[in-house]
Structure 1
């Protein structure tokens, strides 16, 4: 026994027996009075100014400086933040399954890797820029096909839903239509500036117009172009935020979209020069994988969250 071990217990128990905890090294302290300590009585836990360690010995993490005005403004109205606000669903109480989101990202990365391997192996594209351009064109065609498919799907829903639910369906679909209009308008900024001569400096006839022209050109490349690229990715990932209508609508539209794209590839033959077995695998790989992920997502929504396809009709 000692002052450091008043109970006489070893620092560890080799026989795994249960012992009561030893008493603390300090006797219980009385509670301070209700009005606090008198001014001449120091607090027992107050730092001693005469001590060489007047402050706690543990390090205090530095507090980062607040961001500047430009940083806060860019985070608020920057192209990436704006694209997230426009193309991500934001309905209150929406269900987001993280496992499904992770699987969608994995499938997208595998698909991109397969396309890069196919382009490098069979020389479909002459360079990396051509492969990236082909991928962007395919994504843009998918967006246009989705812009045509979505109004048809909404029309079918309105025809099948009860009359009392049609107004709510239209209200929820308004943000989806707004996202489509925003993306199409952003893409058509480039041909509009070229056709009007704005990009060539046609309107820079005086110093003021020159400043406005070059500022507009800079904003086109610094803001509009990142908004387009980020918006296309988010629009395809969230299927134009159709989860604002119902959580089961994105997988249904995604499965419809990939089979439509497979039908388009069947007539356009984008894999010319590729052996027929490999061509069949790549033409069916995307729709089959997306369909499998979509059916799995519908299963998880029904089993884990109680959301079924019948909820689209709001009956």
Structure 2
């Protein structure tokens, strides 16, 4: 029942890796957490420095833009995830391939759960559902409001956990998260540049902010892969052999 009533607990169960024999490197996990927190702090500083946030309406507009950006990230992930995991499994040999595909179901479930939660939160408050809100009356509106708050809490906390744990892809293999994280962050950087995200920011600061994320994530991913090989004997070649 706790899973049903507490969206934060539900997000922890859905987005945190849970494979018992997974390698856990405390130093790497701390750096991943700090990377996420510093990224959020940098975004807040950039937003309030260069955005005209003078009213609650402005705050709502900024929040809406960032929620839309998060939705774009999920859509990019939905396209990249099967390519990376499918390629990783296809390159494996023998029973290892089936093992990776079976493990991938939890990660796929995390992706679908986040998409469903974000879609539900948007749908509840969308103008297109105003007629439904009028029909269901006060009890229905209360139920929809509770649904919105639950989906919002699950989505926001789930996005944070997904950034740290890369949609629990360590459940597949420890080398999948750094590979997937590197591809995703470069895809999002290109998408931000193409879409003109943060166009109100001076070009030099915008370029530094947009490109800072892929550079730092790539460096961290390379270092994580090095530690897995150096201290835990894991490499791509060994991962793909039975």
TM over 0.5: yes
Residues 73-101 of structure 1: CA deviation (Å, up to 9, x unaligned): 54775111111111111112111212112
- Counterpart in 1 of 2:191? 264
Question: Separation in 1 of the partners of 2:203 and 2:107?
Answer: 39
C-alpha change, 1:299 and 1:87, in structure 2 (3 Å) is: same
How many positions carry a matched residue from both structures?
237
Greater mean alpha carbon deviation, residues 186-195 or residues 219-228: 186-195
How far does residue 302 in structure 1 lie from its aligned partner after superposition?
1.5
Distance 1:214 1:87 in 2: 29
Judge conservation of contact 2:7–2:154 (CA < 8 Å) in 1: yes
Contact kept, 8 Å, 2:92 with 2:240, in 1: the verdict is yes
The gaps in structure 2 that reach 5 residues or longer are none
Give ranges in structure 1 of 5+ residues lacking alignment: 1-72, 205-209
Larger Rg: 1
How far is 1:290 from its partner?
Answer: 0.7
SS in 1 for 2:143: helix
Q: d(CA) in 2 for partners of 1:287 and 1:237?
A: 15
Q: Which has the higher contact order (CA 8 A, sep 6+)?
A: 2
Q: TM-score, normalised by structure 2?
A: 0.86
Could you tell me whether the CA contact under 8 Å between 1:143 and 1:236 is conserved in 2?
no
2:178 counterpart of 1:247: no
Superposed CA offset, 1:56-113 (max 9, x none): xxxxxxxxxxxxxxxxx54775111111111111112111212112112222222222
Counterpart for residue 285 of structure 1? 212
Aligned to 2:40: 112
- The structure 2 residue matched to 1:310, chosen from 234, 237, 240, is 237
Q: Deviations over 1:44-64 (max 9, x none)?
A: xxxxxxxxxxxxxxxxxxxxx
Bigger drift between 97-106 and 242-251 goes to 97-106
Task: Please identify, of 132-141 and 292-301, the stretch whose mean Cα deviation from structure 2 is larger.
Answer: 132-141
Give 1 or 2: higher helix fraction: 2
Note closer, same or farther for the CA distance 1:198–1:189 as it changes in structure 2 (3 Å cut).
Answer: farther
Structure 1 CA distance for aligned equivalents of residues 175 and 34 of structure 2 = 20
* 1:232 CA displacement: 1.7
Find 2:74's aligned residue among 114, 123, 143: 143
| Coordinate RMSD, CA, aligned | 2.4
Using the size of structure 1 for normalisation, the TM-score is 0.68
